[in-house]
Amino acid sequence: MVRTRYFFSETFTSLKRNFFMGFTAITTVAITLFIVGVFAVIVYDIQGITSSIKSQVELRVYLKDEISEELKEYIEQAIIGWKETESVEYVSKDMALERFKKQMEGSDILKEIEGNPLPASFDITLNNPEKIDQAELRFYDRDGNFIEGVDDVIYERKVVKPLFAITAIIGTISFLIIIALLLAAIVLIFNTIRLSIYARRKEIEVMKLVGATNWFVRIPFLFEGFFEGFAGSIISIILLYFICNFLLIKGERAIADIMRIKELAIVGSGNVMLYVYLGVLVLGGLIGILSSIIALRRYVKV
Amino acid sequence: MNMIELKNINKIYEDNTVALKNINLVIRKGEFIFLVGPSGSGKSTFIKLLIKEIDESNGNIYIAERNICNLKSSRISQLRRNIGCVFQDYKLLSNKTVFENVAFALEVIGKPVYEIKIRVPQVLKLVGLYNKLNSYPHQLSAGEQQRVSVARAFVNRPPILLADEPTGNLDPGTAEGIMKILSRINLIGTTVLMATHDRNIVNSMRRRVIELEEGEIIRDQKRGVYGD
């Protein structure tokens, strides 16, 4: 009891004394963790979007009009047999025309079409979209020509490749920014603790002289660092709550409506935001304690 | 019982200055000892070794017949609870009252409040400052400040009291007051070791005198005087 009261009163005396430094440290932690939280939401959403787009990636194999039934059957069986095939759908010439008409409804192009110029195709969905190159190669023979009966193979390479690259870049950049901000927060808390150790050097000297244990000397500073990290994380959670529920949520609703993606951080069914808040809280406390430990190791010796 | 015992103690600082050379010494429980010698003769080093503020280069030190040379850092705090220390510069905390300064010594070793409330007034009566409980150090005279410092060193009733030049900043009359308190503390059975330059005090008290010169004991005399 005595000790707990002592530690709390020491901690708050020290926070009062170093008000400006403490305030700066808390603000930095708050901003840092806020940005960490926003990035977490964004990265989660981008991952949801890309994985949804990835699963929509398909390979379309156009067949020559004059292909025989046997050969068509043979190719279909072969495709089903590959390990990268998720599913395959045969689209006949008539179905292709129907689809085209639907897409172009109301356009003048339709009037100019005579007969059915569209080829039949196999639409292949892959279980791992990154294996798309490998799947494509199967339709070429050794000389680099298409195998018999195949007229062309297309997929949306132009969309898929840059998308992977952008995801990777955003991930890396946000990771670097977060690391830099975390370091800044640690340095600032470290500095406040260093200052309050300096402000209390006489007390520390007396404490050691009369036989206070090392832990007894250290705990108020650990409390102080923890408090600064923790207070910063609470502020950042409040900021995150408002930003997410009044601003980011609109973007997510739009994405959910247009792209039919369910795995989003805020509007999704999983409790992603709960984990983000919890993570921010834990991170705040850890930053605070870690900074104090570094300062104590450097400035308080037995 | 041997309260303090040093066997073949040497202390050489990192810059190779030799502070203590082959010190052998036994101090028994309840003795009052003056440690004399010019500045730089090793008096402060001697005191710092006893509270393990610094480590000896070689040799063994026994406090209450226990070797303290290889104490773990967690044990050093226990050692210091049994040795009170008084310094020339008092080392009082200026933002705390007399009562708080003395109570602080008990608080930080985890004594309960009721014990603090009993012991602090007791020890302040012993040093004659019971009427200044709520004064701040800057409101006190130098002698009074040193008496607070003695009270703080003794409030936990340690069996050993070390004093490093406790009268160094005081005029003779005030110094005499401090010596009366130290004698009283010694009479209760506390072993007192006082490093000093003060010829008059040593000569008037007639206690055991250990004289250091360039890190060596050159004299150890019962009921001694300051020297030539």
pLDDT, tens digit (0-9, with 9 covering 90-100), for A231-253: 999 999 999 999 998 888 888 88
How many other C-beta atoms are found inside a 10 Å radius of the C-beta of residue A141? 10
pLDDT digits (tens, 9 = 90+) for B136-145: 999 999 999 9
Residue of B107, B152, B157 to mutate when probing chain A, most A C-beta within 10 A: B107
The pLDDT assigned to B70 comes to: 86
Quickly state the pLDDT bin for A59 (edges 50, 70, 90): confident
Average pLDDT over residues A53-59: 71
Are B93 and A202 inside 8 Å of each other by CB? Answer: yes
Assess whether pLDDT exceeds 70 at residue A114: yes
The pLDDT assigned to A156 comes to: 61
Average pLDDT over residues A42-47: 82
Q: What share of chain A is helix, strand, coil (3-state, %, to 5)?
A: 70, 10, 20
Quickly state the pLDDT bin for B64 (edges 50, 70, 90): very high
Cα of B116 to nearest chain A Cα, Å: 11
The pLDDT assigned to B49 comes to: 95
Assess whether pLDDT exceeds 70 at residue A55: no
Quickly state the pLDDT bin for A160 (edges 50, 70, 90): low
- Among partner residues A2, A203, A208, which is closest to B113 by beta-carbon distance? A2
Residue of B nearest to A5 (CA): B107
The pLDDT assigned to A96 comes to: 87
Question: Which residues of A make CB contacts under 8 Å with B?
Answer: 2-3, 6, 202-203, 205-214, 216-217, 302
Are A213 and B113 inside 8 Å of each other by CB? Answer: no
The pLDDT assigned to A241 comes to: 94
Query: Mapping DSSP to helix (H, G, I), strand (E, B) and coil, where does residue B12 land?
Result: strand
On whether the CB atoms of residues B155 and B105 are closer than 8 A, the answer is yes
Q: Report the range out of A5-19, A136-150, A152-166 with the highest average pLDDT.
A: A136-150
pLDDT digits (tens, 9 = 90+) for B68-105: 988 888 889 999 999 999 999 999 999 899 999 999 99
Lowest-pLDDT choice from A67-76, B149-158, B180-189: A67-76
Return the CATH class of domain A58-155. Answer: alpha beta
Are B108 and A209 inside 8 Å of each other by CB? Answer: no
Q: List Cα–Cα distances, B80 to A15, B3, B20, B83, in angstroms.
A: 29, 14, 22, 5
Give which of A191, A190, A234, A207 is closest to A10, Cα–Cα: A207
Which chain A residues are within 8 Å of B82, Cβ to Cβ?
211
Rounded CA-CA distance B199/B38 in Å is: 11
Are A211 and B77 inside 8 Å of each other by CB? Answer: yes
- The CA-to-CA distance between both ends of chain A, in Å, stands at 26
Question: Which residues of B make CB contacts under 8 Å with A?
Answer: 51, 73-74, 76-82, 85, 91, 93, 104-105, 107-113, 152-153, 156
Cα of B203 to nearest chain A Cα, Å: 30
Average pLDDT over residues A35-55: 81
The pLDDT assigned to B224 comes to: 84
Which chain A residues are within 8 Å of B107, Cβ to Cβ?
2, 6
Q: List Cα–Cα distances, A293 to A28, A198, A199, A220, B120, in angstroms.
A: 19, 15, 17, 12, 34
pLDDT digits (tens, 9 = 90+) for A172-187: 888 888 888 888 888 8
On whether the CB atoms of residues B59 and B10 are closer than 8 A, the answer is yes
**Percentage of chain B with pLDDT > 70?**
100
Assess whether pLDDT exceeds 70 at residue B134: yes
Instruction: Give the residue extent of every domain in chain A.
Output: 2-53+161-299, 58-155
pLDDT digits (tens, 9 = 90+) for B95-120: 899 999 999 999 989 899 999 999 99
Are B108 and A207 inside 8 Å of each other by CB? Answer: yes
Assess whether pLDDT exceeds 90 at residue A45: no
Quickly state the pLDDT bin for A53 (edges 50, 70, 90): confident
Which chain A residues are within 8 Å of B153, Cβ to Cβ?
210
ipTM of the complex, rounded to two decimals: 0.87
The pLDDT assigned to A302 comes to: 56
Are B80 and A209 inside 8 Å of each other by CB? Answer: yes
Cα of A256 to nearest chain B Cα, Å: 60
Average pLDDT over residues A259-284: 85
Q: List Cα–Cα distances, B40 to A48, B101, B136, B203, B215, in angstroms.
A: 75, 31, 34, 22, 8
Q: Taking the alpha carbons of B49, B53, B58, B63 in that order, is the dihedral positive or negative?
A: positive
Residue of A nearest to B50 (CA): A209
Quickly state the pLDDT bin for A132 (edges 50, 70, 90): confident
Quickly state the pLDDT bin for A154 (edges 50, 70, 90): confident
Cα of B105 to nearest chain A Cα, Å: 6
Residue of A10, A209, A215, A296 to mutate when probing chain B, most B C-beta within 10 A: A209
Assess whether pLDDT exceeds 80 at residue A285: yes
Place of tokens 């005499």: B176
The pLDDT assigned to B51 comes to: 93
Residue of A nearest to B105 (CA): A210
Element spanning A26, H or E: helix A19-56
Assess whether pLDDT exceeds 60 at residue A113: yes
pLDDT digits (tens, 9 = 90+) for B9-54: 999 999 999 999 999 999 999 999 999 998 889 999 999 999 999 9
Are A212 and B113 inside 8 Å of each other by CB? Answer: no
Which chain A residues are within 8 Å of B112, Cβ to Cβ?
2
Residue of higher predicted confidence among A75 and A108: A75
Query: Mapping DSSP to helix (H, G, I), strand (E, B) and coil, where does residue B112 land?
Result: coil
- Among partner residues A2, A217, A302, which is closest to B76 by beta-carbon distance? A302
The pLDDT assigned to A161 comes to: 64
As a residue count, chain B comes to: 228
Place of tokens 């070794």: B49
